[in-house]
Amino acid sequence: MALETLIASSFEPPLGNEPRRRALVLMGGGARTAYQVGVLRALARLLGERAFPFQIVLGTSAGALNAAYLASHARDGTAAFDRLAAFWSHLRSDQVYRLAAWRLGPPNLLTAGLTLMWQVRRHRALLDAMPLVDTLHRHLDLGRIDAALQAGVLDAVGVTASSYTSGEHWTFFQTHDARLAPWRRPGRRAEVQPLSIEHLMASAAIPFLFPAVPLWVDGHKEYFGDGSMRQLSPLSGAIHLGARQILVIGVGQPQRAGLTARSGGPEEPSAGTIAGHALASVFHDTLQADVEQAQRVSRTLAQLPPAVAALLPYRPVQVLALQPSASLDELALKHVSELPAATRDTLAGLGALETRRRGTSSAAALASYLLFEPGFVHALIRLGEADAMQRAAELRAFFDDDGADAGTRADAHSVR
């Protein structure tokens, strides 16, 4: 998959004498993407005041919101990372979604069912996403993205979404470089379009939770949902756009807490366990394999004799990937009580916050996607900062343009 992209993009016409493009790829994960904010804030400290260090910015789902916000402040240089942190620090769940819960005594299955039925009838999904639309309109100036592109601060900004209509995975990108052309691969498409609030809402439309969003492609309307769905190659967009260095920040971990029993034998999974597992699979399971393959191919190319490498049309890609060093499920478990009352009662009524079972952290995994509250957000930012500082030497080397060749610096230990 990454191999196919590396080979295919290598046969495309060269873009001329230009500096090596560096891309930032931000994965999705609802409120969990506050972790990315911590990594980037630490990066700002490591790099100091300087020009924006990425030429390409791509995002998926809530990562698309982060990408668009950063791109809109790219002319501020590394200060854009601190501006993103300030935005998250003031964010609350009621600025992202609304859930009007029925109240008929203590939380139970009946009231939860009535709540969700009412929500679906009114909003075509379990949650009303209009608060997020309003938040984006108030805090995001998309015109600043175009200004950054025109000024040459950025080469391309893109977001991904999955078409419910055709089943294809799309990358929508904005650029002023005519040499950056759309592409088409099996199951994957790209198109140049000015990014809009609708593109961001489509990318962030978590299945079932948020409604599908209509977008126009190929001259007709299709309905789109979360860009993490069917995203088999998270790095391919950056590679197609000419990136030869990619910093990718995910919000998953190899093993999610709570999927194995802490003591005793296994128990039947609760609704929260199943839902948390399903969302984790949507958001995280493809990133590590994609990074490892891109690194493996790049190392192979870098090890070829120079005379042989000069004859080949392939180019190595340096990939540095950061993901949380600690379980975000466990972290969310400490903050479940911060959920808005309506959300907490509805999840409790469905058994998705069952605390009498050993799968409690998996139930918290489901809640973590909706926990846009200060305690959880600030904990995620602190974790991201700590993880980035632990890998400060790698990050500094990644941004050292006078360092070793890109292919030789990519190694499997970059993935956690």
Type of residue found at 57: V
Cβ contact 49:272 at 8 Å: no
Question: What one-character DSSP code corresponds to residue 20?
Answer: P
Helix (H) or strand (E) holding 191: strand 188-192
Q: φ and ψ at 329, to 5 degrees?
A: -65, -45
Place of tokens 């698309």: 64
Cβ contact 22:247 at 8 Å: yes
What is the rounded distance in angstroms from the CA atom of residue 291 to the CA atom of residue 253? 14
Q: Is 226 a catalytic residue?
A: yes
Q: Determine what percent of the chain falls in helix, strand and coil, rounding each to the nearest 5.
A: 45, 15, 40
Q: Is 128 a catalytic residue?
A: no
* Beta-carbon contacts of residue 375 (< 8 Å; ≥ 6 apart): 334, 335, 338
Distance, first Cα to last Cα, the chain = 20
Chain Cα centroid distance, residue 370: 15
What is the rounded distance in angstroms from the CA atom of residue 45 to the CA atom of residue 58? 22
- Computed over its alpha carbons, how large is the radius of gyration of the chain? 21
Between strands 156-163 and 169-175, the pairing is antiparallel
What is the rounded distance in angstroms from the CA atom of residue 218 to the CA atom of residue 390? 46
Q: Which of 61, 163, 228, 298 is catalytic?
A: 61
Residue 230 φ/ψ region, left for φ over 0, alpha for ψ in the -120 to 50 degree band, beta for the rest: left
- 249 closest CA partner among 86, 22, 33, 12: 33
Q: Which of 128, 146, 226, 329 is catalytic?
A: 226
Cβ contact 83:76 at 8 Å: yes
Q: Is 185 helix (H, G, I), strand (E, B) or coil?
A: strand
What is the rounded distance in angstroms from the CA atom of residue 218 to the CA atom of residue 50? 40
Residues paired with residue 111 on neighbouring β-strands, in sequence order: none
- 371 closest CA partner among 353, 385, 387, 349: 353
Residues catalogued as catalytic: 61, 226
